[in-house]
Amino acid sequence: MLGKNLAEVRARIAAAARAAGRSADSVTVLAMSKGHPAASIAALADAGVRDFGENYLQEALPKIGAVGRTGLVWHFTGMLQSNKSRAVAESFDWVHTVDRARIAERLNGQRPATAARLNVCVQVRTDADPRTGGCPPADLPALCQAIHALPRLRLRGLMCLPPPGDSATARRAQFHAVRDLFEQLARAGRPAAPADDAHPGLDTLSMGMSDDLELAIAEGATLLRIGTALFGARPAPIAPAAQAP
Ligand SMILES: *Cc1c(COP(=O)(O)O)cnc(C)c1O
């Protein structure tokens, strides 16, 4: 079933990329495996998926241990709490939800010296509601500059997560806004400094999920975070009490 789901997702991506005049290779599938067992991750990895995303540390760490790291890239896409940042810095290759300088500094300080730099996307708040996560657009340039200065992090791009229940029109508008911000940042960049190993430049727009991947591709997404369309419906989320440290 996973192989068939993956083929269907790849066909949707190919069609959407063609419609947008983009190459299907410009879009990577990040399989959101939260709620699904290590065996399903291993099966998708065997089918050729390399990138996996998890939201909850307590769930993710044993699964990473079981599936392993060889040839795989692990992305943390959940809410970043300060008291959990060390385990994130030690166990993941990417973090998609950096939204303030303080958490970036913690991750930088906690990233083991023996590991490669931690790849980081800044989550952008696309909704005026201050309770939703993400960096307000007005604060993005300063936050990105701060991350550029941290030697154990590599700033790769932006991430957005439209609130559940938003219409297709509202989602597309948010994807469009984030792409605009991405292009402004890439232009402002570090004009004096060429891209180098530490800062390969901004190359990642993490947006689009099972229901809206076509809209996200039309707006320039490079990394799609796909759960349900690959794995099927998730079991009920783990209760908050079970997530306590
Ligand atoms: C679960 C999750 C997704 C994937 O959602 P689906 O609708 O199941 O594809 C994407 N992004 C984040 C941050 C998630 O937690």
- pLDDT (average), residues 168-176: 96
Residue 187's pLDDT band (boundaries 50, 70, 90)? confident
Q: Could you report how far apart the first and last alpha carbons of the chain are, in Å?
A: 35
From 99, 171, 225, give the residue whose CB has the most ligand 1 atoms within 8 Å, as the site to mutate.
225
Asked if pLDDT for residue 41 goes beyond 90, the answer is yes
Ligand 1 pocket, residue 206 CB under 6 Å: no
Nearest residue (CA) to ligand 1, atom 6: 227
Ligand 1 pocket, residue 223 CB under 6 Å: no
Half-sphere exposure of 65 (CA within 13 A, CB side): 6
Whether residue 40 contacts residue 54, with contact meaning beta carbons closer than 8 Å, is answered with no
Instruction: Report in angstroms the alpha-carbon separations of 151 from 98, 109, 199.
Output: 16, 9, 10
> Which atom belonging to ligand 1 lies closest to the Cα atom of 229?
9
> Which atom belonging to ligand 1 lies closest to the Cα atom of 225?
10
Model confidence pLDDT, tens digit, residues 90-104: 999 999 999 999 999
> Which atom belonging to ligand 1 lies closest to the Cα atom of 231?
8
Could you tell me the distance, in angstroms and rounded to a whole number, from the CA of residue 47 to the centre of ligand 1? 20
Q: What is the distance, to the nearest Å, from the Cα of residue 205 to the centroid of all Cα atoms in its chain?
A: 8
Nearest residue (CA) to ligand 1, atom 5: 227
Ligand 1 pocket, residue 150 CB under 6 Å: no
Residue 208's pLDDT band (boundaries 50, 70, 90)? very high
pTM of this prediction? 0.93
- Rounded CA gap, 10 and 118, in Å? 28
- Rounded CA gap, 173 and 193, in Å? 32
- pLDDT (average), residues 114-130: 91
- pLDDT (average), residues 216-245: 82
Asked if pLDDT for residue 193 goes beyond 60, the answer is no
β-partners of residue 225 are 30
- Rounded CA gap, 24 and 19, in Å? 10
